[in-house]
Amino acid sequence: MSTFKAPKGTYDLIPPQSATYLAVREAISAPLKNSGYGYIETPGFENVELFARGVGESTDIVTKEMYAFETKGGDQLALRPEGTASVLRAALEANLHKAGNLPVKLWYSGSYYRYERPQKGRYRHFSQVGAEAIGTEDPALDAELIILADQAYRALGLRNFRILLNSLGDKECRPVYRAALQDFLRGLELDEDTRRRVDINPLRVLDDKRETVQKQLDGAPKLRDYLCEACKAYHEQVRELLTAAGVAFEDDEKLVRGLDYYTRTTFEFVHDGLGSQSAVGGGGRYDGLSEMIGGPALPSVGWALGVDRTVLALEAEGIALDIPAATAVYAVPLGEEARRVLFGVVTELRRSGVATDFAYGGKGLKNAMKSANRSGARLALVAGERDLAEGVVQLKDLESGEQTAVALGAVAEEIRRTLG
């Protein structure tokens, strides 16, 4: 055992569980690749100010959870706590919005970091797959992203999730609601930190999970009553497009999400089998974020889905993904000549796309066959001196136990035929 352990609140992904995470990432990204989204990768750390401006200085992410540090050169950097600000920064820096083909549609996958109290489903290091559509204001884009996330989850076999939907208004109507909400909240019995939040971003109080706060929110002004006609029409179009696509959703007027940049459409995917950490992903429209970080006006929308949370949702529904074995063929040489010959066969099989492993370290037949079974291989390829003298190798079906002598020159073709 090593002297060192993974830092508190983090985890290592090791086989076979890592294969499930890879399969989840692939399932989430598949519909995006099929819908015009190109892959983007950004650094694991960015300038602190990018997140302070974009995510919001009053958010828990920036004030309490961000891993910030000063480099030897004096730069103030932070490990990325979310993906949207980084992706938009990269798109602006590369002038993707000037290519003349809007929206710029991007997807990404990676690790993110927040200093939180570690608990199941809430880690300090976590994995997400995200998507952003940058530069176009269109209800169809909002609906498209929600539909693609729904498609990804259903492709994984998930059924017990719900989509919560809300509109946060825009710069025209939200200030009026903000003032009305502040007047209401200032009459409540709130702690000092929450009162400060009322002054900076009162909508965040609606997202407070504490029962003592939620009990006092009955009678709070409803954002829907303050939406301007343009926001009402926009939101209704999103709802109509989702309904026409057969995607069920629930209107949730208290849904604000935890980031300050959201405008208009806001949504969240929740799974009822995960307890208090029920959110498995979410997103929304962020029409003013580009200007917040020094760019031009670029109305945009996006989401991020948690890979860790999605894996927990699969477990909660008892879903085991059909993941192909990492090894299809396991070669077992008995003797030095067989070792040389079979290693050549293994190399040929790998080049032709057959997942093949080899009994390294001079294992005896019994131990080598145990390793073959543990690998999940369908076939074992065994050869000793007598086999080679006869110009054959033994091909054993590890499922049926049937063993056949195959001519050495035909073994690769026979394996491909057997595996289909």
Binding residue numbers for L-histidine: 82-84, 114, 128, 132, 257, 261-262
Burial call 53-82: b when 16+ CB within 10 Å, e when fewer: bbbbeebbbbeebbeeeeeeeeeebbbbbb
Contact 59, 116 (CB under 8 A): no
Picking from 166, 160, 167, the residue whose alpha carbon sits closest to that of residue 270 is 160
d(CA 300, CA 203): 21
Nearest in space to 26 (alpha carbons), one of 267, 327, 242, 322: 322
- In sequence order, what DSSP letters do the residues of 374-399 get, joined into one string? HTT-SEEEEE-HHHHHTTEEEEEETT
> Which positions ≥6 away from 242 have C-beta within 8 Å?
143, 146, 147, 163, 165, 249
Collapsed DSSP state (helix, strand, coil) of residue 122: strand
Beta strands in 201-314 (DSSP E): 250-251, 263-271, 279-285, 300-306
SS3 content of the chain, % helix, strand, coil (to 5): 40, 20, 40
Positive or negative CA dihedral for 208, 210, 213, 218?
Answer: positive
What is the spatial distance between Cα 222 and Cα 206, in angstroms, rounded to a whole number? 11
Assigned token pair, 186:
């200032």
Instruction: Give me Rg for the CA atoms of the chain.
Output: 27
Cα–Cα dist 114/122, whole Å: 9
Q: Cα–Cα distances in Å, from 188 out to 32, 59, 175, 216, 223?
A: 45, 21, 20, 7, 19
Annotated binding site: 82-84, 114, 128, 132, 257, 261-262
Closest CA to 185 of 173, 210, 202: 202
